[in-house]
Structure 1
Amino acid sequence: MFGSGRVTDRILAAAWLLMVATGVCAEESKVADETVRSLASSLLARPDDPRPMLNLAQALLQGLRASRDAGEAARAEALIQRALTLAPRDSRAWALKAWDEMNRHRFREALVSVRQAHGLGVPSAMTLGLESDALVELGRYEDALAVTQKLLDAFPGLPAYSRAAHLRFLHGDIEGAVGLLNESLAVAPPGSEAHAWAFVQLAELHLNGGQFERAENALARAETLFPGRPDYPALRARVREAQGKREEALALLREALDQYPSPDDAVMAWRLARSVGDHEAMRRLALLLDGMARLDEAGDKLFRRAFAEYYALQGHRYGEAERLAREECLRRPDIYGHALLAFVLRQAGKHREADRHGQTALRLGTADRRLERWARPPRAARTPTVAAKRSIADDDGIAPFNPEEAP
């Protein structure tokens, strides 16, 4: 994506806008596989039956974990809304509505929808998992622990183990989280996407724990089991950055941005380009990011955390950064929301308020590179614990777990 010339830069930015607006992604990311086509045919035969609508909607939502296709997301949402119009007391329709709302970062609405599903039917592994995810995103960790324990008791398996592992991680217990994910690998269908996803999360845990070789091995297993997920190159880039290999990390992010230009990856690439002094890459990435930001604001505002960090790091857009960080913390008041707001406020010189949000962000003892970088003042390094083997690079960053991608 780093061709020469301003015309090329504008074309690249416009291409991203068109791709997301229309749902046109790389061919391998299309969700319209044989299963989806078969379910669509069933719906054509029974166009007013909610069951085939929901079957197709669920298949589309499952595919979005790997494809990120905006067109398919809109298609799933429309199917769910139509099903609810036809059957407003269908518990499965409410559960899928919650899933779609989680994808769109409407976490409070998702919690209402999934509890409506529980009121209309028997809780399932899917609905309990969605409730746990929504509570985590809203920063209600004690409630999330209680729901996850119900999930473990009623439906022991990959969805339960993975969420329990994430909560262990959030509470600073990486070793316990790794143990639970290893248990999940024993019950995941061999060779499935869920199997690969568990290895991705294991790689993230090893990375946060400073076990870089283990992180690489887990990522390699995931790639072998389920090739082509758009998050693989970026995850490998984060490993390289944590090892202090910033040029290699930037090269990997260029590969990731060529395949799927995610705002999170673009901000990380801009930050790395700045750290290695690549001003031309910074300029081109800034053009791409400005176009992405305009589209995100016009849509579901899914990447406000990335853009708030980017504006704060630029050094002259503190007002925009603070607005986004405050609105995001209201919508998504988890520890990462408070950490980002602390980072932005500190960049703007508002240290007293930044310290309050930083303390809130660090209250669980989470060992996460990005959380530390955002929440703590630059010289307030934590006494070495599990992070002792990490790179001391100031710009290290690990993306937080994304529960809406979970099986």
Structure 2
Amino acid sequence: MSTIFRITSLLVGFGLMASAETPAEQHVAAAQHVIRTKPKSSQAYNDLAAALTRRTRETGHVRFLGQAETAVQQAIQLQPGNYDSQKIRIAILLARHQYTQALEAAKDLNHRVPDDIPVWGLLADANIALGNYADAEKDAQWMQDLRPANGPAFIEAARLREVYGDLEGALDFLAEGMRRTSENEVEEQAYLLTRSAHLQLLAGNTKSAGEMLAQALKLFPDYHLALWNLAQLRTSESNYAEAAALLKRRNEAVQSSASLYDLAQALERSGDKAEAEAAFEKFETRASAETAKPFNANRELIFYYADRR
């Protein structure tokens, strides 16, 4: 059975229904309610921090990371040395692309509790980001050994298969991860579909990629990761006007320097020189002010200057 058919069948079973509130928004609201009734609950602040970190991936807005940091600091103040708080802090470091710090912190937690599967996942994420692929393989294998056939382990394994160029293997692992994802976790489903579409696009399977991205956007409308990948698909088809329109939608939602750079490039390809130049100028101003921040567009800024020198 093909990967696209397996994933589509799973989504038909889920009903493809998107709720008014996203999963992370629901968790944020629930945690805030507990905090109002139990303001001394460190766990409630942990729950809030975790939900805000997830909200970052849902929206692409890094401002939620600042709110998550505030919440986890409150949890630590209420219960110093709290283990769950430390895990959430590592997740925030990863979201901020502070991979070396995240790896060292995850190693410390792993020494404290060697059988915690999520910590092995944090180690794998950090090691993959840093190019430590052999270590990441060991991390993913520990996840499987501790709990065979668990969803997060399949997702980590998929990332490694992609690194090694085994696109079909990565797609199979993502399908297994989807199979183990709750029907209520619509953003996670959309994320896995988007990851799968990215792999299909790399393999030249544009039809399958388009179908997966359409499903992702039906599950999670205006999902910024799906919009970006769909724009890449349209660019590969030389449909530059639609690619620019998709990236406009994404930039309206995300409003990051990197998103603005992608939009400027798309506008330039579509032939809208004036709007492209305005977007590039806005990007340069914004990205130049963020160079020292952990979450920046320095890579895009280098490309921008290289293209114009």
User: TM-score higher than 0.5 here?
Assistant: yes
Query: Which of 197, 200, 225 is the equivalent residue of 2:219?
Result: 225
The range that moved more, 195-204 or 56-65, is 56-65
Query: Which of 161, 169, 174 is the equivalent residue of 1:168?
Result: 161
Q: Residue 39 of structure 1 corresponds to which residue in structure 2?
A: 31
Correspondence 1:328-367 to 2 at 5 A: none
Matched, 1:303 2:297: yes
Contact 1:191–1:226 at 8 Å: present in 2 too? no
Structural RMSD (CA): 2.3
Change (3 A) 1:29 1:264: farther
Q: Residue 116 of structure 1 corresponds to which residue in structure 2?
A: 108
Contact 2:222–2:249 at 8 Å: present in 1 too? no
Greater relative contact order structure (CA < 8 Å, 6+ sep): 1
Matched, 1:98 2:90: yes
Q: Residue 152 of structure 2 corresponds to which residue in structure 1?
A: 159
Q: TM-score, normalised by structure 1?
A: 0.65
Structure 2 regions of 5+ residues with no counterpart?
A: 1-19
Contact 1:111–1:135 at 8 Å: present in 2 too? yes
Contact 1:132–1:147 at 8 Å: present in 2 too? yes
Contact 2:248–2:263 at 8 Å: present in 1 too? yes
SS at match of 1:79: helix
Q: TM-score, normalised by structure 2?
A: 0.84
Correspondence 1:2-401 to 2 at 5 A: 33-155=25-147, 156-190=149-183, 192=185, 193-297=187-291, 299-315=293-309
Contact 1:43–1:53 at 8 Å: present in 2 too? yes
Give percent identity, aligned residues only: 25
The range that moved more, 251-260 or 178-187, is 251-260
**How far apart, in 2, do the equivalents of 1:285 and 1:37 lie?**
36
Contact 2:103–2:127 at 8 Å: present in 1 too? yes
The range that moved more, 293-302 or 131-140, is 293-302
**What are the Cα deviations for residues 170-211 of structure 1, in whole angstroms up to 9, with x where unaligned?**
101111111111222222223522222111110110011111
SS at match of 2:279: helix
Contact 1:165–1:178 at 8 Å: present in 2 too? yes
Contact 1:240–1:246 at 8 Å: present in 2 too? yes
Change (3 A) 1:258 1:81: closer
Contact 2:59–2:223 at 8 Å: present in 1 too? yes
**How far apart, in 2, do the equivalents of 1:290 and 1:95 lie?**
35
| Residue 50 of structure 1, CA deviation | 2.0
SS at match of 1:228: coil
**What are the Cα deviations for residues 214-273 of structure 1, in whole angstroms up to 9, with x where unaligned?**
001111111222223222222111001122322332232223223333333322333334
| Residue 86 of structure 1, CA deviation | 4.1
Count residues in correspondence. 288
Change (3 A) 1:70 1:269: closer
Contact 1:104–1:302 at 8 Å: present in 2 too? no
**How far apart, in 1, do the equivalents of 2:27 and 2:133 lie?**
36
SS at match of 2:296: coil
**What are the Cα deviations for residues 375-399 of structure 1, in whole angstroms up to 9, with x where unaligned?**
xxxxxxxxxxxxxxxxxxxxxxxxx
| Residue 125 of structure 1, CA deviation | 3.1
Change (3 A) 1:58 1:258: closer
